[in-house]
Structures are given as C-alpha cells and as structure tokens.
C-alpha cells in the first residue's frame, strides 16, 4: 500500500482527468495484504474448527447407535422444534444468498481489482462452509434431543418396572399376612386345610422370589440408564465446546471484515477531501492549511472532519482485533502504520500542496498545522495505536 502512495499523490497534483484519478484511487483503496491474509487465516481456522465439530458429531452418533424412536407423546413437540431448526437453516441460507448477491455486485463494480475479486471468492467459499457447519450443527442438535428422549423413556420404563415389582411384593406381603391368619385359624380344622395353607405359603414364597428378581433387574436397568445419561451428558458438553470454537471463529471473521470496511471508508473520505480541496482551491483566499480547517466557501472543514473521525473509527477497529485476537493483530499491526502514512499524505496534499511548511524545516510547526494538530483544531481527540 505504501508503495502506491507517491504515484497517487503525483497523479492528483498533475492530472484533472477523471478516468486517470479513478484508476489511481482504485489502487489506493486496496486493503493491505496483511488484512486480507488475516481474513483468510481466520476462515481457515473456522474451517478446521468446523471439521473438528463434525468429527465430534460422528463420535457422538457412534455412541448412540442404539437410539430408540422418539417417544410418541413427544413426537408433535419435536416435529415443531425440527421445523423451527429447518426454518432457521433456511433463513441462514437466505441471508447467505443475500450476502453472496451483494458480494457479486461489489465484485462487478470492482472487476479491475483482482485482489478484491479473489477476496470475495474466498468469502463466498467460507460462507458456504459456514452454511454446511450450521446444517451439521442442526442435525447434531436433533440427534442429541432424540437421545435425550430415548433415555428418558428408558428410565421411565425402568421406573415403571420397579413400581410393578414393588406392587407385586406388597401384594405378596398382604397375601402372606392373610394366609398367616388363615393358618392360625386352620390349626383346629382338618389336615387338608393345613395342606392348602402350605401350598398357599409356597405360592407366597414364589411371589416374593419373583418380586425380588424384578427389583434386582430394575436396579441394574437403572444403573445402565444412568451410565447412558452420563455418556449423553459428555457428548452434549463436547458438542457445546465445538459450538463455542465455531462461534469464536465466526466472530473473528466478522471483526476482520468490520476492520476492512472501516479502512475502505477512511480511504474514501480522504479521497473526497482531496477532490473537494482541489475543486475549491481558487475560492479560498487564505493559506491552504487555513482553508483546510475553515467553513464556508473554499473551506474543507466538513470533509476533513469526516477523514479524522474515520481515522479514529479505523483505529478502534484495529484495537478491537488486538484486544480480542492478539495472534491475528500481530500479523496486521504494520498495516495500520502504513495506512496512516498513506492517508495522511493525502491530507498533506490539501494542507501543504507546495510543501512550503514541510520544507521550512520546522517539523513541529508542520505537525501542528497539517498533522496531529488537525484533531484539536476540529475539537477532536486523535485515537492512537497502543
């Protein structure tokens, strides 16, 4: 970016042909390669995170190969939830299609800039990968919900078996008590009645044995259901962790594109300032640096304010990357310095077009009138890289 600046300044000073200036401006507005590369790296990280999430999803599917069908009483509610998930996926795709359409329109407007076209293509590829990840995430969510329903049904069935076994045991106890009373009463009756009582006692013992077996089976089933629930909890936790990684990569990509937009806006404002001052240079009788901060005819104060505010906003975008994604910022930090140098050169073109201040040898005076001093002259504070 810095290598293009001298040619641009020379063109602005010597040429008034709109086509020539437009070509130079297109070169100037190209975003530094560090920013584009950082976006590409962020997309690569996002893709890897998505692949890891898909691998984790397969592992969860393997663990839950024995899943039963959705409980009948939950079917309607789950259909509505699945419909909502499909609707969300459709809306995501619709938003993606709109983003692709906008990117296509932007690419058509900047066909002469190969770097921009390549960046748009990479963004479209990343967006397609993101759509696939969202779809996979929805499928994973549906599967996990099905597993939860299956385990709840299994646990409910085992609880019912336990209740049935308990009822059978209680019934046997009641029968035993009744037979004990009958046995005591039968002591004064004939032997055949005593024999019948003995047979009844045998039935009671058999009922008690069956009840004990059912109770033991219910305990084993309960432990199995608990183990399955623990496995499902682990799978859900792993899925949530994978989602967090995917979201972090999405946020990083979004922050980089926001920085890209702020840089574009900053350069556009600087270019408009140069054009406005060039077109009005005969309308202001003051010195160029005084005209630059003046209102009224020939003054550039309004356009200059947009440039300085745009600079502050761009610095904030850089610092957001530094605070949240230091590993990415280390790759683009130098680009911020180059951008500041390039853009301020455009401001100097309007503030000191004949280099009278710069060549006077007083660097502090030049900086006060055409550099850092412009911010306080417009009642602004200059944001700085830290």
| Residue 330 falls inside a structural domain | yes
Q: Is residue 383 part of a domain?
A: no
Q: Is residue 149 part of a domain?
A: yes
Distance CA 133, CA 107 (A): 26
Does any domain span residue 384? Answer: no
For the CA atoms of the chain, what is the radius of gyration? 38
Task: Note whether 286 and 313 are same-domain residues.
Answer: yes
Whether 65 is covered by a domain: the verdict is yes
Contacts 24+ apart (CB under 8 A), 343-348: 343/266, 343/267, 343/270, 343/307, 343/311, 344/371, 345/5, 345/9, 346/8, 346/9, 346/12, 346/270, 346/271, 346/273, 346/274, 347/270, 347/273, 347/292, 347/304, 347/307, 347/374
Indicate whether 268 and 135 sit together in one domain.
no
d(CA 40, CA 45): 9
Least confident of 97-101, 362-366, 376-380: 97-101
User: Which residue has tokens 């963004």?
Assistant: 123
pLDDT score of 2: 38
Residues 290 and 151 occupy one common structural domain:
no
Count structural domains, the chain. Answer: 2
Give the integer Cα–Cα distance in Å for 338 and 341. Answer: 5
Last residue of a domain, one of 202, 222, 249: 249
Please indicate, yes or no, whether residues 153 and 215 belong to a single structural domain of this protein.
yes
Range of the domain at 82: 42-249
Percent of the chain with pLDDT over 90: 24
Residue 27 pLDDT: 43
**Does residue 355 sit within a domain?**
yes
Q: Examine the domain organization and report whether 157 and 15 are in the same domain.
A: no
* Residue that terminates a domain, selected from 249, 279, 294: 249
For residues 343 and 8, the model is more confident at: 343
> Residue 270 falls within a domain, yes or no?
yes
pLDDT-derived band at 280 (thresholds 50, 70, 90) equals: confident
Please check whether residues 143 and 261 belong to one and the same domain: no
Residue with tokens 């810095």: 2
Q: Is 128 found in the same domain as 24?
A: no
Task: Categorize the per-residue pLDDT at 19 as very low, low, confident or very high, splitting at 50, 70 and 90.
Answer: very low
Residues 189 and 64 in one domain: yes
> What pTM does this model have?
0.44
Pairwise CA distance, residues 36 & 264, whole Å: 13
385 occurs within a structural domain? no
Region 13-24: mean pLDDT is: 37
pLDDT in tens, 307-322: 999 999 999 999 999 9
Same domain, residue pair 235 and 294: no
Strongest mean pLDDT among 175-184, 204-213, 310-319: 310-319
- Please give the Cα distance from 193 to 191 (Å, whole number): 5
Q: Are 294 and 300 in contact (CB under 8 A)?
A: yes
Of 144, 167, 147, which is closest to residue 155 (Cα–Cα)? 147
Closest CA to 307 of 279, 349, 368: 349
Task: Tell me: do 239 and 273 sit in the same domain.
Answer: no
Q: Which of 222, 249, 276 is the last residue of a domain?
A: 249
203 and 238 co-located in one domain: yes
382 backbone dihedrals φ, ψ, rounded to 5°: -85, 125
Q: Which residues of 335-356 are buried (b: 16+ CB within 10 A; e: fewer)?
A: bbeebbebbbbbbbbbbbeeee
Looking at per-residue confidence, does 135 or 15 come out higher?
Answer: 135
Per-residue b/e over 163-183, b at no fewer than 16 CB within 10 Å? eebeebbeebeebbeebeeeb
Q: Note whether 243 and 289 are same-domain residues.
A: no
Judged against a pLDDT cut of 60, whether residue 295 lies above it is answered with yes
């Amino acid at each position: 970016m810095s290598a293009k600046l001298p040619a641009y300044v020379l063109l602005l000073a010597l040429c008034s042909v709109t086509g020539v200036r437009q070509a130079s401006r297109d070169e100037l507005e190209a975003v530094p390669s560090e920013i584009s590369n950082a976006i590409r790296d962020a997309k690569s990280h996002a893709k890897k995170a998505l692949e890891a999430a898909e691998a984790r999803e397969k592992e969860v599917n393997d663990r839950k190969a024995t899943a039963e069908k959705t409980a009948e009483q939950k079917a309607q509610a789950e259909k509505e939830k699945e419909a909502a998930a499909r609707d969300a996926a459709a809306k995501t795709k619709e938003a993606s299609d709109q983003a692709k359409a906008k990117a296509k329109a932007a690419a058509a407007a900047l066909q002469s800039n190969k770097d921009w076209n390549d960046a748009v293509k990479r963004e479209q590829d990343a967006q397609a990968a993101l759509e696939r990840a969202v779809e996979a995430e929805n499928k994973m969510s549906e599967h996990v919900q099905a597993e939860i329903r299956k385990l709840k049904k299994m646990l409910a069935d085992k609880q019912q078996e336990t209740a049935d076994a308990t009822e059978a045991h209680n019934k046997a106890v009641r029968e035993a008590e009744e037979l004990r009373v009958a046995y005591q009463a039968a002591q004064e009756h004939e032997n055949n009645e005593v024999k019948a009582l003995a047979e009844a006692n045998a039935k009671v013992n058999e009922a008690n044995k069956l009840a004990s077996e059912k109770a033991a089976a219910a305990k084993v089933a309960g432990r199995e259901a608990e183990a399955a629930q623990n496995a499902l909890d682990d799978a859900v936790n792993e899925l949530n962790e994978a989602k967090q990684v995917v979201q972090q990569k999405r946020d990083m990509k979004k922050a980089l594109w926001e920085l890209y937009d702020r840089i574009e806006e900053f350069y556009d404002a600087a270019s408009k300032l140069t054009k406005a001052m060039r077109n009005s240079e005969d309308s202001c009788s003051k010195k160029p640096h005084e005209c630059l901060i003046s209102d009224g005819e020939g003054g550039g104060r309004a356009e200059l304010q947009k440039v300085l505010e745009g600079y502050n906003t761009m610095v904030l975008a850089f610092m957001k990357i530094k605070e949240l994604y230091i590993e990415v910022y280390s790759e683009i930090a130098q680009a911020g310095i180059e951008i500041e140098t390039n853009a301020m050169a455009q401001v100097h073109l309007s503030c000191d077009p004949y280099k009278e201040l710069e060549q006077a040898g007083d660097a502090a005076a030049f900086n006060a009138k055409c550099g850092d001093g412009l911010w306080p002259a417009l009642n602004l504070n200059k944001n700085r890289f830290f």
